[in-house]
């Protein structure tokens, strides 16, 4: 089943015999399709047809997604604010139940037996993150605010904020900044600012933080 988002409302729910979808798109979410930027439209989720479950997807303010972007499973997906997400992303939010002789839901339903429901596990993509092309997120995985995930990575677990992550399975390559700068950024939480405040703080957004980390001055000194 393909679910296309073609509306301007904040919340949209679709119900069918076997599905209940709860999908939240915040303001200013945008998707790139064929080099054209489209706001709040043509966002595509690939959702399973044969399983009875509730799908919860929340995409927060200012996040940009390059298509195709696929979500599979019965768990929850939350994407933070101002995330930059590449092409060919796959998010899997549940695993098959493994404690039965048969693990296929379709066969179990066809035989008229109790359905072998998948086990949903939340996937969280933090604020102000950058996800390279062809990244896969497995059930229960998460990346903290400010993380970078290298192209082709498979994210299998939880990672703290402001880390550079890559590989199969993904691992921490290095932190983006010093511990002091990371703590300051997590305290400032610029992604929660209104855009009017962002526009007032050109110096903060144009400062090279790798150079600034050598200074004893606090980042808050750059903020108006």
**Which residues have a catalytic role annotated?**
96
CA 220 to chain centre: 28
**Alpha helix segments (H runs only) across 73-178:** 105-110
**CA end-to-end distance (rounded Å), the chain:** 48
Instruction: State how far the Cα of 192 lies from the Cα of 128, in Å rounded to an integer.
Output: 10
| Angle made by CA atoms 185, 209, 173, in degrees to the nearest 5 | 80
**Residue with tokens 């179990």, as numbered in its chain:** 108
> Quick check: 185 and 176 in contact, CB under 8 A?
no
Q: How many CB atoms lie within 10 A of CB 146?
A: 22
């Amino acid at each position: 089943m393909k679910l296309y988002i073609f509306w301007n409302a904040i919340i949209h729910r679709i119900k069918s015999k076997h599905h209940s979808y709860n999908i939240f798109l915040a303001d200013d979410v945008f998707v790139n399709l064929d080099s054209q930027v489209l706001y709040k439209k043509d966002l595509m989720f690939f959702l399973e047809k044969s399983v009875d479950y509730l799908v919860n997807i929340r995409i927060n303010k200012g996040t940009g997604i390059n298509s195709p972007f696929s979500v599979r499973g019965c768990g929850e997906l939350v994407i933070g604010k101002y995330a930059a997400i590449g092409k060919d992303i796959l998010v899997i939010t549940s695993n098959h139940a493994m404690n039965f002789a048969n693990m296929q839901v379709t066969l179990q339903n066809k035989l008229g037996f109790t359905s072998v429901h998948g086990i949903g596990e939340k996937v969280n993509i933090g604020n102000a993150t950058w996800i390279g092309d062809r990244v896969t997120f497995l059930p229960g995985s998460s990346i903290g605010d400010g993380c970078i995930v290298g192209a082709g990575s498979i994210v299998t677990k939880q990672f703290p904020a402001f880390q550079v992550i890559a590989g199969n399975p993904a691992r921490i390559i290095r932190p983006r900044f010093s511990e002091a700068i990371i703590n300051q950024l997590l305290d400032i939480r610029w992604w929660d600012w209104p855009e009017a405040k962002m526009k007032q703080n050109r110096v903060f957004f144009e400062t090279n933080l790798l150079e600034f980390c050598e200074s004893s001055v606090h980042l808050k000194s750059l903020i108006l």
